[in-house]
């Protein structure tokens, strides 16, 4: 069975008991009160008394004490009912600490299985079985399985119990923390103390009642003694001569004797009771001494606990201080790392700025060269198309020349045949009419052949002129290319020269092809094969060159995109650095305002002291003594020195930041684009530097004056009346004759002189 089914089964079974409040979940059983109520219902004669911790508390140690008490009694009850043996399927040592502290479901279920077996082993087992039969069917089946598993467990259950015993050690195996042991000891002492205090109260009540009874018996004894004395007086009177009263006196005497006997018996009983009460008082005194001893032990433990608590608080404070100091050190290290990172980023930004400017120049040159390259490519494409067109025209002319050659050869053979016929006719029958006609036809044919040959020669000359014209245009394009001194332009020009060399090679191949065409015209028999091979070679060479040019074009575009990406990254880095500088400036401004506030407070305090001293010198001041004024003056002087020290540290930090900014400005000025703007910024920075230097000098002078004055006060070399403010009768010249005023006047004069020559300070 899984944990959820076991939990639901046991909860439904436990809710069948007559409890004050129903159980909603396993968490309600961790304090032990509900479990103790169930045990008292199982066997009220065995489970007597109450739990050690009767008050409900959120601390888990008290819950743990209750669970240990319940577990101890429950195991002993199961062993008593089972002849000293516990069923092997039950876990006799569940982890009570995890139940009390973490409210473990698994360990709580193991503890509830012990409750189930104790219920079916109790004298009221029949009633519990009848109650189980009234539960739901899944709950009955689950309870039956749990009982069978407890009485005859399987090997898996035995292995699980072994694993739980190794995983969750028992109470004796767990090393108890000294603080928990101390808390347990204190809890036991408190419980025993409360128990003894309750017993003491009960015994005090008994003593009070016995004292009341003793007083009442004493009063009765006194009354009986009075009656006895009166009776004796009456008896003496009767014995002295009153015989008539003897019979009546005898009856009264007998009654009085009986009464005396009863009163003496009562007195003896009272005396015995008083003795018993005295013994009780003695025992109570002994118990009171034991209680006092326990009270002393409790006081000692409480004192020790208070000391430990104070030590713990002091240790906690020291730990917090150590933690804060460690946090400050970590923060300081992180700030140093950030400063180093910022410096590195600043250097990288400077380098990126330089490289960005260089890349901008290269990019501009690339952009300038791109139209030329595109124009060259377009011209090459046009030239290629023109050459293809010329090749096609030449091929058509070659075909027409070949056809004409064939016709000429056929005409020549025909003329030769006719010439042979004419010669044969002239030899056979000479005449004037036919030879004249034959000669005229032959000369005409020869003239036509000559004209055709001259026409072909003229066409070849025209083709040569066109090729020379194209070659001359390409050479002029090569000569008209502008030069550049930049290294990037030289690289691009080198690549362009390579392309042009390839174009020259292509033109050389075209010239070779043209020569082959000329040779083919001279040798018409081999023109078909040579011309076809040359055309195939030209096409292959042109296709390879075009693919190479496209690759080079793609590479140039890729370089341009890379340069643009690098430029964007450098711009983003510069913006981040500027944001960081802005945040540093804000923090410095906040620190500046804080220092100014502290300085103003110190000066106001010093002014108040001087006013009191002046009033005291005139005789109308306050009741403050000179020592108090001196202490206040020394304290104000110390505060002023601390403020000046902070100001010096702040000024030093500002100077470091300004020096870093100046270095950055120098790096940026090397690659500046707007000189007028840079000049204005430089002048502005020079003004800021002058103000900062004047403030630093004034702070140094003031600090030296404060320290000198403080040392003189401590040495007692200056009287108190000299510290008063100048009176109304003193003139302005007397006021400005002090050493600090003179130094400030000299400093102001030096700053004015230095402001006329700002370049020397920079």
Among the listed ranges 623-627, 699-703, 752-756, which one has the minimum average pLDDT value?
752-756
| Residue 440 pLDDT class (50, 70, 90 cuts) | very low
pLDDT digits (tens, 9 = 90+) for 278-326: 888 887 877 777 777 777 777 788 888 888 888 888 888 878 888 888 8
Integer Cα distance of 558 and 566 in angstroms:
12
Whether the CB-CB separation of 9 and 146 falls below 8 Å is answered with: yes
Who has greater pLDDT, 568 or 375? 375
Rounded distance between C-alpha atoms, residue 617 and residue 353, angstroms: 68
What's the confidence (pLDDT) of residue 134? 86
- Specify the higher pLDDT residue, 704 or 692: 692
d(CA 736, CA 682): 37
In the prediction, which pLDDT does 673 show? Answer: 45
Q: Which residue in 144, 154, 157, 155 sits closest to 116, CA to CA?
A: 144
**What's residue 690's pLDDT?**
76
> What is the band of 732 on the pLDDT scale with cuts at 50, 70, 90?
very low
Average pLDDT of the segment spanning 758-762? 40
Task: Flag whether the pTM goes above 0.85.
Answer: no
- Residue 103, sorted as left (phi over 0), alpha (psi -120 to 50) or beta, turns out to be left
Residues 6+ away with beta carbon under 8 Å from 129: 120
pLDDT at residue 494 tops 70: no
Q: What pLDDT is attached to residue 604? A: 80
CA–CA gap between residue 188 and residue 181 (Å, rounded)? 11
Confidence of residue 740 (pLDDT cuts 50, 70, 90): low
- Least-confidence region, from 76-90, 119-133, 718-732: 718-732
Least confident of 400-409, 516-525, 550-559, 577-586: 516-525
Contact 66, 51 (CB under 8 A): yes
pLDDT at 633 over 70: yes
- Nearest CA-CA partner of 626 in 617, 637, 635, 638: 617
Residues 500 and 478: beta-carbon distance below 8 Å: yes
Domain ranges of the chain: 3-175, 578-761
User: 626-670 and 675-715 helices cross at what angle (nearest 10)?
Assistant: 160
The pLDDT of residue 201 is: 85
Residue 718, pLDDT score? 45
pLDDT of residue 699 exceeding 60: yes
Please give the pLDDT value at position 155: 60
How far from chain centre, in Å, is Cα 280?
Answer: 72
Write a three-state SS string for 517-580.
Answer: HHHHHHCCCCHHHHHHHHHHHHHHHHHHHHHHHHHHHHHHHHHHHHHHHHHHHHHHHHHHHHHH
Give the model's pLDDT for residue 444. Answer: 56
pLDDT value of residue 429: 46
Give how far the C-alpha of residue 407 lies from the chain's centroid of Cα atoms, to the nearest Å: 98
Question: What is the C-alpha R_g of the chain?
Answer: 64
- When comparing pLDDT for 684 and 70, which is higher? 70
Q: What angle do CA 3, 23, 88 make, to 5 degrees?
A: 45
* 503 in Cβ contact with 384 (< 8 Å): no
Per-chain mean pLDDT for the chain: 71
Distance CA 22, CA 26 (A): 11
Rounded-to-integer distance, Cα 630 and Cα 80, Å: 87
Statement: residue 656 has pLDDT above 50: yes
Please tell me which residue, 231 or 549, carries the higher pLDDT value.
Answer: 231
Pairwise pLDDT comparison (114 vs 59), residue with the higher score: 114
pLDDT tier for residue 742 given thresholds of 50, 70 and 90 = low
List, as one string, the DSSP characters of 658-688.
HHHHHHHHHHHHHT-S-HHHHHHHHHHHHHH
Q: CB–CB of 383/472 below 8 Å?
A: no
Query: How confident is the model at residue 530, as a pLDDT?
Result: 52
Q: Provide the pLDDT for residue 174.
A: 41
Work out the average pLDDT over 102-123: 86
Does pLDDT of 163 surpass 70? Answer: no
Q: Work out the burial of residue 30: count CB atoms within 10 Å of its CB; fewer than 13 is exposed, 13-18 middle, 19 or more buried.
A: buried
Instruction: Output 180 or 263, whichever has higher pLDDT.
Output: 263
- What does the alpha-carbon distance between residue 148 and residue 146 come to, in Å, rounded to a whole number? 5
Confidence grade of residue 741 (pLDDT, cut at 50, 70, 90) = low
**Percentage of the chain lying above the pLDDT 90 cut:** 0
Identify which of 204-213, 490-499, 520-529 has the greatest average pLDDT.
Answer: 204-213
Mean pLDDT across 221-231 = 84
Q: Which of 6-15, 74-83, 661-670 is the least confident region?
A: 661-670
In the CATH hierarchy, which top-level class contains the domain 3-175? mainly alpha
| Sequence-distant contacts of 71-74: CB under 8 A, at least 24 apart | 71/96, 71/111, 71/114, 73/39, 73/46, 73/47, 74/39, 74/114, 74/115, 74/118
């Amino acid at each position: 069975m899984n944990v959820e089914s076991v939990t639901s089964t046991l909860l439904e079974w436990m809710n069948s008991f007559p409890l004050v409040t129903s159980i909603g979940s396993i968490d309600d059983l961790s304090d032990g009160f509900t479990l103790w109520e169930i045990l008292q219902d199982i066997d009220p004669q065995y489970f007597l008394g109450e739990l050690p911790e009767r008050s409900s508390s959120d601390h888990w140690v008290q819950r743990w004490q209750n669970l240990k008490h319940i577990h101890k009694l429950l195991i002993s009850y199961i062993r008593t009912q089972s002849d000293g043996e516990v069923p092997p399927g039950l876990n006799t040592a569940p982890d009570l600490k995890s139940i009390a502290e973490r409210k473990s479901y698994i360990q709580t279920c193991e503890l509830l299985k012990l409750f189930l077996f104790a219920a079916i082993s109790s004298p009221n087992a029949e009633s519990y079985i009848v109650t189980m039969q009234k539960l739901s069917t899944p709950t009955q089946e689950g309870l039956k399985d749990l009982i069978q598993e407890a009485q005859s467990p399987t090997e898996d259950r035995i292995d699980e119990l072994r694993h739980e015993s190794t995983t969750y050690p028992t109470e004796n195996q767990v090393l108890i923390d000294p603080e928990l042991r101390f808390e347990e000891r204190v809890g036991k002492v408190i419980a025993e103390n409360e128990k003894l205090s309750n017993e003491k109260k009960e015994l005090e009540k008994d003593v009070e009642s016995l004292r009341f009874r003793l007083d009442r018996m004493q009063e009765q004894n006194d009354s009986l003694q009075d009656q006895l004395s009166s009776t004796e007086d009456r008896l003496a009177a009767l014995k002295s001569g009153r015989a008539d009263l003897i019979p009546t006196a005898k009856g009264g005497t007998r009654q009085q004797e009986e009464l005396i006997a009863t009163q003496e018996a009562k007195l003896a009983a009272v005396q015995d009771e008083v003795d018993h009460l005295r013994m009780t008082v003695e025992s109570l005194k002994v118990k009171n001494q034991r209680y006092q001893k326990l009270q002393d032990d409790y006081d000692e433990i409480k004192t020790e606990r208070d000391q430990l608590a104070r030590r713990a608080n002091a240790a906690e404070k020291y730990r917090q201080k150590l933690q804060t100091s460690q946090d400050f050190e970590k923060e300081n290290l992180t700030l140093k790392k950030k400063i180093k990172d910022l410096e590195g980023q600043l250097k990288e930004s400077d380098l990126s700025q330089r490289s960005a400017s260089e890349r901008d120049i290269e990019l501009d040159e690339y952009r300038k060269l791109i139209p030329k390259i595109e124009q060259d490519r377009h011209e090459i494409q046009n030239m290629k198309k023109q050459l293809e067109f010329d090749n096609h025209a030449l091929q058509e002319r070659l075909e027409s020349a070949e056809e004409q050659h064939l016709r000429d050869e056929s005409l020549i053979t025909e003329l030769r045949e006719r010439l042979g016929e004419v010669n044969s006719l002239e030899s056979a029958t000479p005449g004037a009419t036919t030879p004249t006609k034959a000669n005229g036809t032959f000369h005409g044919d020869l003239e036509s052949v000559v004209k055709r040959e001259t026409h072909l020669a003229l066409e070849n000359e025209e083709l040569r002129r066109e090729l020379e014209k194209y070659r001359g245009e390409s050479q002029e394009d090569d000569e008209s290319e502008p030069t550049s001194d930049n290294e990037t332009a030289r690289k691009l020009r080198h690549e362009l020269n390579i392309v042009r060399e390839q174009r020259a090679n292509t033109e050389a191949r075209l010239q070779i092809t043209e020569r082959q065409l000329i040779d083919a015209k001279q040798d018409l028999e081999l023109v078909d094969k040579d011309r076809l091979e040359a055309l195939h070679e030209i096409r292959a060479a042109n296709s390879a060159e075009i693919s190479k040019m496209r690759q080079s074009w793609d590479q140039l575009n890729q370089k341009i995109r890379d340069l643009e990406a690098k430029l964007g990254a450098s711009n983003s880095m510069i913006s981040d650095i500027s944001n960081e500088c802005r945040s540093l400036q804000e923090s410095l401004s906040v620190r500046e305002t804080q220092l100014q506030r502290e300085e103003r407070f110190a000066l106001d305090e010093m002014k108040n002291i001087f006013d009191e001293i002046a009033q005291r010198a005139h005789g109308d001041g306050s009741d403050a003594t000179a020592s108090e004024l001196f202490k206040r003056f020394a304290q104000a002087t110390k505060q002023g020195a601390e403020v000046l020290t902070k100001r010096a540290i702040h000024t030093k930090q500002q100077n470091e930041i300004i020096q870093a900014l100046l270095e950055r400005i120098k790096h940026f000025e090397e690659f500046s684009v707007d000189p007028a703007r840079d000049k204005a910024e430089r002048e502005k920075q020079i003004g800021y530097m002058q103000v900062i230097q004047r403030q630093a000098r004034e702070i140094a002078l003031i600090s030296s004056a404060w320290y000198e004055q403080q040392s003189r006060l401590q040495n007692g070399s200056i009287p108190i009346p000299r510290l008063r403010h100048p009176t109304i009768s003193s003139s302005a010249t007397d006021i400005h004759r002090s050493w600090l005023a003179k130094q400030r006047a000299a400093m102001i004069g030096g700053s004015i002189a230095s402001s006329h020559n700002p370049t020397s300070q920079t």
